[in-house]
Structure 1
Amino acid sequence: MPVRDRGVVVTGAGHGIGRALAVRLAAEGARVVVNDLDADAAVQVAEEVGGHAAPGDAAGERGVAALVETAREHLGSIDMWFGNAGIERGRGLGASEEEWAASHEVNVMAHVRAVRLLMPAWVARGSGRFVVTASAAGLLTSLGNPAYAVSKHACVAFAEWLSATYRHRGVVVQAICPQGVRTRMFERAGPLQGLLAHDGALAPEDVAEATWQALHDDRFLVLPHPRAAEYYVHRATDTDRWLTGMNRLQRGLEEQGALG
């Protein structure tokens, strides 16, 4: 699956997984547009990979439209879109209306808005690739973080719908679903770090490498932590037992004072 000279956009690429994706793709010859709200970080990564910095909002309707326009001006055409930007807000039922809304905007609607602008050209030419950085939380759940868990489930669901609807038109859709990854979000997880790192906390570069390998066979689910597949099957085949186990983890975290 050659990427040399392909036009690629990576959102949230100033740090963490997004940065690692930009570096890996550029190393393979892709022409990369680096997006991030952190303008300085976007510029730094773009300079590092020989790409083009396009700092700004990658979630709101105007921000997404501006990013697509800028990327097309620089690349000529967008061949691949890596919707990596994401947020985690709020805890439990105490998460505010604003935190729920922000989670939906960034973790779901950013992808919807990008696809609306990208898909017509991809369908017309019969090729395109849309990759979302979801989370294992989008396949399983995330204790303590309902807005994150629900919005990441929606992210995966939207990607599934896209794949089912457009794969015969030549559009490949993939969802990256890691567990614990050593990013700024992981560092802010506090007492939940132990749970997130249950199967190992990967470096962002490990996720980028797993994604690079998945680009070659177009598999929908990109699982940098292989055991996530086992959990996903268990959840689907014995849901009540799965939920009982998750509740046991919840109670353990409450006893440790990690969750209220």
Structure 2
Amino acid sequence: MDINGSVAIVTGAGSGIGQALAWALADAGARVVASDIDADAAAGTASARAGQIIGRRADASSIADIENLIAVAEKEFGPVDLYIANAGIGGGLGLEIGEAAWDLTIDVNLRAHIRAATLLVPKWVERGRGYFLAVASAAGLLTQIGSPAYSVTKHAAVGFAEWLAITYGDKGIGVSCLCPMGVRTALLDGLTESEDPATKVAGSSITAAGEVLEPAAVAAITLDAIREGNFLVLPHPQVLDMYRQKGADYDRWIAGMRRYQGILEAQILS
């Protein structure tokens, strides 16, 4: 897709990957509505690119808030061309997180994507164009040590993006799915800087697996993928090799992940 002159919505844009994507889009000539659950953070993102970005507080999983973001974009800039479902949460560790944490993680990491697509894709089909970027994670192709809700919802986000691409790809709708490993964000910092040993293991499983990238680098790679219409966006190329190894021998891969988890636990708990 041609980003220059397009209208985009980015959720979770108050910091991290979402903020970097909003700024990169604006620098590429797009007009952007940047939303975040933190109103001040959304405003801060917008203030750095005044005139190109509008900041709005929104719960990315709320149908009413998504409708409002679309309405703001249409009023201020025109029809939405690109929706970036970036907002996400970690979901907590282990089976003890409880029903409320599961519900919230499913709402933010998965249903937010479904609800936005349900509102926008029919309009895009009528126009004959539109683009949906699902920000998932390498955990959606592999897994995340420690967090069941994060792993499950990121797998589901990848699956929903695949379904969108298959179902609407011949109707002018582009779909990409971003699956990075470690990116320097508040979410990762919260894991690596925690005093809780289990949380530290979860964080170390990410930082020990490969380079921790800056959000701006991930944004640049992602915009290139959108321009080229590539589905799977892998800022860490080694994820593809890991994914292939997983598919080639699932039992061996699971055994390897158990060993990896054990090594990290021994390092942190010793």
Aligned to 1:2: 2
In the aligned structure 2, how far is the partner of 1:128 from the partner of 1:140?
Answer: 29
Query: Does the Cα contact within 8 Å between 1:11 and 1:18 map onto a contact in 2?
Result: yes
Q: Does 2:203 match 1:193?
A: yes
In the aligned structure 2, how far is the partner of 1:99 from the partner of 1:256?
Answer: 29
Query: Does the Cα contact within 8 Å between 1:133 and 1:177 map onto a contact in 2?
Result: yes
Aligned to 1:169: 171
User: What TM-score, normalized by structure 1, do the two folds share?
Assistant: 0.96
1:73 to 72, 75, 79: 75
Aligned to 2:15: 15
In the aligned structure 1, how far is the partner of 2:203 from the partner of 2:212?
Answer: 9
1:257 deviation in Å?
Answer: 4.7
Aligned to 2:241: 230
Code of the aligned partner of 1:2:
D
Q: What is the root-mean-square deviation of aligned Cα atoms in Å? A: 1.2
Q: Does 2:104 match 1:102?
A: yes
Query: Does the Cα contact within 8 Å between 2:204 and 2:264 map onto a contact in 1?
Result: no
1:59 to 52, 58, 61: 61
2:150 to 148, 151, 162: 148
Query: Does the Cα contact within 8 Å between 1:138 and 1:151 map onto a contact in 2?
Result: yes
Code of the aligned partner of 1:147:
A
In the aligned structure 2, how far is the partner of 1:141 from the partner of 1:75?
Answer: 39
Q: How does 1:129-148 map to 2 (within 5 A)?
A: 129-148=131-150
Code of the aligned partner of 2:204:
G
Q: Secondary structure at the match of 2:228?
A: coil
1:90 to 63, 79, 92: 92
Q: State the aligned residue count.
A: 258
For structure 2, the residue ranges without an aligned partner over 5 or more in a row are: 193-199
1:220 to 207, 231, 237: 231
Query: Does the Cα contact within 8 Å between 1:159 and 1:175 map onto a contact in 2?
Result: yes
How many percent identity over aligned positions?
A: 44
1:113 to 115, 139, 147: 115
Query: Does the Cα contact within 8 Å between 1:9 and 1:34 map onto a contact in 2?
Result: yes
Q: Secondary structure at the match of 1:173?
A: strand
Aligned to 1:28: 28
For structure 1, the residue ranges without an aligned partner over 5 or more in a row are: none
Code of the aligned partner of 1:218:
G
Code of the aligned partner of 1:239:
Y
Code of the aligned partner of 2:96:
G
In the aligned structure 2, how far is the partner of 1:254 from the partner of 1:199?
Answer: 18
Aligned to 2:195: none
User: What TM-score, normalized by structure 2, do the two folds share?
Assistant: 0.92
Q: Deviations over 1:201-227 (max 9, x none)?
A: 000011101101112221111000000
Code of the aligned partner of 1:246:
M
Q: Secondary structure at the match of 1:54?
A: strand
